[in-house]
Chain A
Amino acid sequence: MSAVTVIYALLFYIATAILVIGVARKIFIYARTPQPLKIPTTPAPTTRLGVAARMVREVTVFESLFKSNKWTWLFGWIFHLCLFVELIWHLRYFTEPVLFFLPWLQWFINFTGYGMVVGLLGLWGRRFLVDRVRYISNLSDHLMLALLVGIGASGLAMKFLFHTDIVALKAFFLGLMSFSLQPLPADAPLLVHLTLVATLMIVFPVSKLLHAPGVFFSPTRNQVDNPREKRWVAGWSAEIDNTKKAAG
């Protein structure tokens, strides 16, 4: 087995472990931390079902961002949608036989790689062109965009310019999943692509990418507006005992 194969096998085992454990740990922390008071941003739904619908709108069509800024919304939404389709599409390297619905995405895949990169470049452009956004951008914000653009661009390069041996690639990943190493095609665009993806997986739990699990735990979005109807207590507010004081 070549050194490249071994190195990338180890890299993906480590990256997967960091991603899964890191994000699970954060989700655990979010779930465990109490929210002592009711703070939904109103007008807010008054039922659980309504909150679920609000959350679905928030994560599918980015409702709040749409209200806020149409350009950021447009670029952000295009990027996320294309990334999502690409992620699903990439399941074909991890499933045998491939999931039944994957062929349906075939046509979209002609555009999603470009969509990702265009969306990212639009978002990146704002960091240079809008003085307010330039002011709030840290080096890490630029690097994150560079990383994602790199992933998109190297993917596009393989799809349209330098084809890689995807049968062998699939064998490699299926092998990883069953702990039997298969050779990885050592093409430069592929190795760049895989390195960047592994990097993204590794930084995910310690970076702003935590917005992905975070949004589901955001109290201003996930709380039901019913404080008068149902007494809410959690954390320090659960320790309040008014019955004694009231008697005095």
Chain B
Amino acid sequence: MATEVEAPVLGEYMKVPNIEPDSMVGSKPYVAKPDHNTPLGFPGELVDGWEQKAVTKLGELVSQSRALQVFLDSCVKCGACTDKCHYYLGTSDPKNMPVARQDLLRSVYRRHFTFAGKFFPKLVGARDMTKDVLDEWYSYFHQCSQCRRCSVYCPYGIDTAEISMAAREIMDSVGQGQKYTNEILVKVHKIGNNLGLPGPALANTLEGLEEDVKDDTGVDVKYPLDVKGAEVLLVTPSADFFAEPHVDGLIGYGKVFHAAGVSWTLSTHASEAGNFGMFVGSSANLHKVAMRIREAALDLGVKRIVVGECGHAWRVAYSFWNTLIGPFDFLDPRYPVPQHICEFTYDLIQKGALKFDKSANDDKVVTFHDSCNVARASRMGNMPGGQFVIPREIIKATCNHFYDMAPETIGEGTFCCGGGGGILTDELLDLRIKGAMPRMQALKDVIEEHGVTHMAAICAICKAQFTKIVPYYKLPMDMIQSVHGLVSKAIVLNAKE
């Protein structure tokens, strides 16, 4: 399958393509089976009378969300967003322009809930909810990574992520769920993490890490699991337990805790920072997945919660946890709840509590990929934009050679990796490769200009996506790094013991 897929050719600079209608209409993920749906509270398969049920659900969602209410009314079709989505830039399919994607749902909303759409449907492009519309939804709402880049540039702040979450929730509510996300949600509810790693497997992996680090450094760095009374509960994406380059990040977190002399623990019950409940727009599942963290924190009696490198997880943690699983009155009020591992490490660097040998990373010329959910849906530190400064300061403290990519492709304008939002699945590989094009273009430019050899990220999905797709752009997969993998390499441990 992979061999059929070809990457776009990168030119001198990125061009906004002319539209090629329906060029991606065939791209759609596998539909969820009943086993993936019913445990989440969704019907097993497409229900009878789904057309009416979908419309009713749409009305319900709009009445419960000011965002939807305002976003569906306010678009003036100015076109400001049309060249902002990485999937449009990579595929040329006009339905991947944010406004056109929104219109797939807005057209149905107009038909059933607005005066203009009820009486003058042709005039305002209103449509009934039909099988064709549902098929289009299924295809194109799974070509959105909910990265919010469009919302930065919209004069009304219309966020297509909110619309695509709503569309996915409506589809789930009538039994047209997506296999990849729903299967993972079932796993996290049952076992505690997206990968379905049971407790003993985790314990085994962590033991192995301790041995590796001991062999490597001669220092007894601990990777504790389910330790009651630890100061910090670390919640991290489960990919950190075994995937490359994720696990280098986990090794790095452990070394930082060790160097800081702070007791910490992972939890079997909350062995997942990711929360795919957000991707499918399901508040019930979003809440249920998040609750595992509150339960684990109370059960283990920790004082602080720190979150590992993961983009959407950090959005859920930073922006939603206090709402969903707060109040956090049982934790130490002197620290932000939750705290990002980068904030934790950066604080220690500021205090001079960590020692680095930057030359350990001298084999690398590093650039940094801002992950969309960290960049546009959260913060680090106590000032707006801290999410851009802090990871870069960590990299600069641990590496001698750092160069940023073009300014319009980082910070709040960062391009998604192409695999976020619940579409990191093999049957969408073509979309993922094309969607990565804008980031690959910016990366190619710094490779040519500054000799960049490595790109660091702070998101499990970004790391997995890039590792998979950079070979299609003729780049080596091991060029993708965890920020705390760089920390791990450069940190000097014996000093503190």
Q: Which of B67, B80, B116 contacts A72 (CB 8 A)?
A: B80
Q: Which of B327, B376, B383 contacts A231 (CB 8 A)?
A: B327
Q: Which of B69, B76, B291 contacts A208 (CB 8 A)?
A: B76
Interface bits B47-63 vs A (CB < 8 Å: 1, else 0): 00000000000000011
Q: Which of B64, B84, B382, B412 contacts A33 (CB 8 A)?
A: B64
Interface bits A205-236 vs B (CB < 8 Å: 1, else 0): 01110110011011111000101101111011
Q: Which residues of chain B come closer than 8 Å to A233, judged between CB atoms?
A: 323
Q: Determine the distance from Cα of A34 to Cα of B61 in the docked complex, in whole angstroms.
A: 11
Nearest chain A CB to B154 CB, angstrom units: 6
Check B384–A137 contact: CB distance below 8 A: no
Q: Which residues of chain A come closer than 8 Å to B294, judged between CB atoms?
A: 242, 245-246
B474 within 8 A of A: no
Q: Which residues of chain B come closer than 8 Å to A137, judged between CB atoms?
A: 77
Check A206–B114 contact: CB distance below 8 A: yes
Q: Determine the distance from Cα of A228 to Cα of B328 in the docked complex, in whole angstroms.
A: 10
Interface bits A187-210 vs B (CB < 8 Å: 1, else 0): 000000000000000000011101
Check B323–A131 contact: CB distance below 8 A: no
Residues facing A in B66-87 (CB within 8 A) are 66-67, 69-71, 73-84
Check A35–B384 contact: CB distance below 8 A: no
Given A68-B84, A138-B123, A139-B123 in contact, is the A231-B326 Cβ separation under 8 Å? yes
Check A69–B80 contact: CB distance below 8 A: yes
Q: Which residues of chain A come closer than 8 Å to B318, judged between CB atoms?
A: 227-228
Q: Which residues of chain B come closer than 8 Å to A118, judged between CB atoms?
A: none
Q: Which residues of chain B come closer than 8 Å to A217, judged between CB atoms?
A: 66, 69-70
Q: Which of A41, A43, A69, A133 contacts B387 (CB 8 A)?
A: A43
Q: Which of B76, B156, B384 contacts A45 (CB 8 A)?
A: B384
Q: Which residues of chain B come closer than 8 Å to A135, judged between CB atoms?
A: 19, 21, 94, 97, 100
Q: Which residues of chain A come closer than 8 Å to B77, judged between CB atoms?
A: 133, 136-138, 141, 208
Given A131-B18, A218-B158, A231-B327 in contact, is the A43-B123 Cβ separation under 8 Å? no
Q: Can you list the 4 inter-chain pairs with the closest CB atoms, starting with the nearest?
A: A214-B74, A220-B157, A68-B153, A43-B384
A157 within 8 A of B: no
Residues facing B in A128-177 (CB within 8 A) are 130-133, 135-141, 143
Q: Which residues of chain A come closer than 8 Å to B376, judged between CB atoms?
A: 41-42
Q: Determine the distance from Cα of A215 to Cα of B67 in the docked complex, in whole angstroms.
A: 11
Q: Determine which residue in B157, B159, B298, B320 has the highest number of CB atoms from chain A within 10 A of its CB, and name it.
A: B157
Closest residue of A by beta carbon distance from B382? A46
Q: Which residues of chain B come closer than 8 Å to A36, judged between CB atoms?
A: 64-65, 283, 323
Nearest chain B CB to A54 CB, angstrom units: 10
B34 within 8 A of A: no
Nearest chain B CB to A28 CB, angstrom units: 11
Check A221–B156 contact: CB distance below 8 A: yes
Closest residue of B by beta carbon distance from A130? B79
B122 within 8 A of A: yes
Q: Determine the distance from Cα of A39 to Cα of B82 in the docked complex, in whole angstroms.
A: 22
Interface bits A38-61 vs B (CB < 8 Å: 1, else 0): 110111111000000000001000
Check A39–B100 contact: CB distance below 8 A: no
Q: Which residues of chain A come closer than 8 Å to B338, judged between CB atoms?
A: 228
Check B155–A35 contact: CB distance below 8 A: no
Closest residue of B by beta carbon distance from A215? B156
Q: Which residues of chain B come closer than 8 Å to A46, judged between CB atoms?
A: 379, 382-384
Q: Which residues of chain A come closer than 8 Å to B103, judged between CB atoms?
A: 136
Check B123–A220 contact: CB distance below 8 A: no
Q: Determine the distance from Cα of A33 to Cα of B319 in the docked complex, in whole angstroms.
A: 20
Q: Which of B67, B323, B377 contacts A232 (CB 8 A)?
A: B323
Check A67–B65 contact: CB distance below 8 A: no
Check B323–A210 contact: CB distance below 8 A: no
A240 within 8 A of B: yes
Q: Which residues of chain B come closer than 8 Å to A58, judged between CB atoms?
A: 155, 157
Given A132-B79, A138-B77 in contact, is the A220-B291 Cβ separation under 8 Å? no
Check B74–A228 contact: CB distance below 8 A: no
Q: Which of A136, A140, A228 contacts B79 (CB 8 A)?
A: A136
Q: Determine the distance from Cα of A42 to Cα of B375 in the docked complex, in whole angstroms.
A: 7
Check B384–A211 contact: CB distance below 8 A: no
Check B79–A30 contact: CB distance below 8 A: no
Check A39–B377 contact: CB distance below 8 A: yes
Q: Determine the distance from Cα of A123 to Cα of B77 in the docked complex, in whole angstroms.
A: 11
Check A240–B287 contact: CB distance below 8 A: yes
